[in-house]
Amino acid sequence: MSTIAERILDCFPSGNYALGALLRLVDIEETDTVPTAAVECRAAPRLLVNPGFVEAHANTPEKLLMLVMHELHHVLLGHTTLFPAATPVQNFVFDCVINALISRMFPAPEHTAFLTDYYSGARFPECLLRPPPGWRDSRAGRLPGGIRKLESPDKEKTAEVYRALYAPAGATYKEIFDILPKCLDGESVEGVPLLGGHQGESTQGQLEHRAPVLFDVVREAVERWPQPPDPIRGRSLADLLKASTVNLESKPHPRSILRRLLQKAGGQSGGGAVRRIDLSASPVISPVPAMERRTAVLQSLGVKPMLYTGETLTRRSTRSGEKVHVYVDVSGSMDGLEGVIYGAILDCRAWVHPRVHLFSTEIMDISHKALRHGVKHSTGGTDIDCVARHMHEQRVRRALIITDGWVGKPAGGVLATMKKARLAVAFAGENIHLDDLKGLARYTAHLPV
């Protein structure tokens, strides 16, 4: 009989999920010390799997895949500073969101059977942890019996959130995380079995510091996963452009930081090497007649001037600079920071190229007017390669990148393109990551937003 480790390796679709590096990094061990599965987040991470649970509830390749994918999402989403998993209600909401995410990724009945067989649709709040009956047939599905039994207005409020998890329109997992706890209490979630590790090391936070290699590998793998047909918008899944708006804020401190970086990147400090040729008018005295006010007055008095005042245009080289191409990271990890960043860019627009470049895994150019209206286009993920390709295609030589730094390490041609440019980087927010862009930028600063 195959070991669980072999079965896990075999259950993943080949080539689609960039998980080879992850599975080579993580040791897979069978143990009854965890009720279902858990990732032990250390320098040498382990995926712990309970063989009894697998035989009882994940005994097909499709179900086993769902179990492992749930745990990978738990690691990735459970260690962000936005969503600290602390209370039983928060842990329950994590599982609701993660189960909806993986159901959208693998909507076939043989996959979702892992959740529909394990959780009862007739009991509340357990029914929130599984797709609704008839979900893929009617797109939204029917409300499970556990919700239909609730009293109004709790029934309407809970049904709205549940539909957001599975309806085509969807919602961001941040929105669900904010709203769903209002439909629950600590007593209602007691005794509901949850998947993954909610009590061990994998929930202690700051995964990027405790297991940096694991964090980078999981992040890179998840950001390259294929997009489900109707995704929940969030950091872990994205290749479909979404449009949204952000509220603008203008704060003088970020503005002054950006202005200094733009001046340095554009060579606009007055002593930069960038020169501009201007035409300037200079006064001259000439015997050649020229029409000007003094001459007209003298002639009206009967006086014929011998010399005339005129002007000539001369080409003059002046120390100046160029407008800088600004690339703004709008990936999921930057959610909530765009307002201050947009406002600061507009305050410094005299130094900014007319098109601002929003980037996630793709580039979207917007005007200053669109920036003022808070337009945002994002795929949710992050890939610095798209910035390098844009710089190469547009022959950008002066650029400012605004990001939290979680963009992946550039290499090869990408690295060469960015090193050729006069590049500045503004690291925005509090949870910044310096390693990916280390050594690339001539000028860096921290943008406290």
State the SS3 of 99-165. Answer: HHHHHHHCCCHHHHHHHHHHCCCCCCCHHHHCCCCCHHHHCCCCCCHHHHCCCCCHHHHHHHHHHHH
Of the candidates 226, 339, 126, 184, the one whose C-alpha atom is nearest the C-alpha of residue 176 is 184
Residue at 222: amino acid letter: V
182 and 16 in contact (C-beta within 8 Å)? Answer: no
* CA distance linking residue 381 with residue 333, whole number of Å: 8
Is residue 399 within 8 A of residue 391, CB to CB? The reply is: yes
Confidence (pLDDT) at 146: 86
SS3 of residue 208 by DSSP: helix
pLDDT (tens digit, 9 = 90+) per residue, 84-140?
556 788 888 888 888 888 888 888 889 999 999 999 988 888 988 998 887 765 555
Q: What is the pLDDT of residue 22?
A: 64
Residue 253 and residue 371: Cα distance in Å, rounded? 19
Residue range 309-324: average pLDDT? 67
Label residue 158 exposed, middle or buried (CB < 10 Å: 0-12, 13-18, 19+): buried
Which tops the pLDDT comparison, 205 or 54? 54
pLDDT at 235 over 60: no
Is residue 208 within 8 A of residue 78, CB to CB? The reply is no
Contacts of 287 (CB under 8 A, 6+ apart): 306, 307, 308
Return the pLDDT at 149. Answer: 86
What pLDDT shows up at residue 365? 94
Domains observed in the chain: 4-236 (no CATH), 244-267+322-447 (3.40.50.410), 275-319 (no CATH)
Averaged pLDDT of the chain: 75
CA angle at residue 422 from 416 to 427, to 5 degrees? 95
Most confident of the ranges 217-226, 299-308, 314-323, 420-429? 420-429
Enter the pTM of the model. Answer: 0.51
Which of 295-304, 410-419, 439-448 ranks highest by mean pLDDT?
Answer: 439-448
Angle between helices 4-11 and 61-77 (to 10 degrees): 90
User: What does the pLDDT read at residue 269?
Assistant: 47
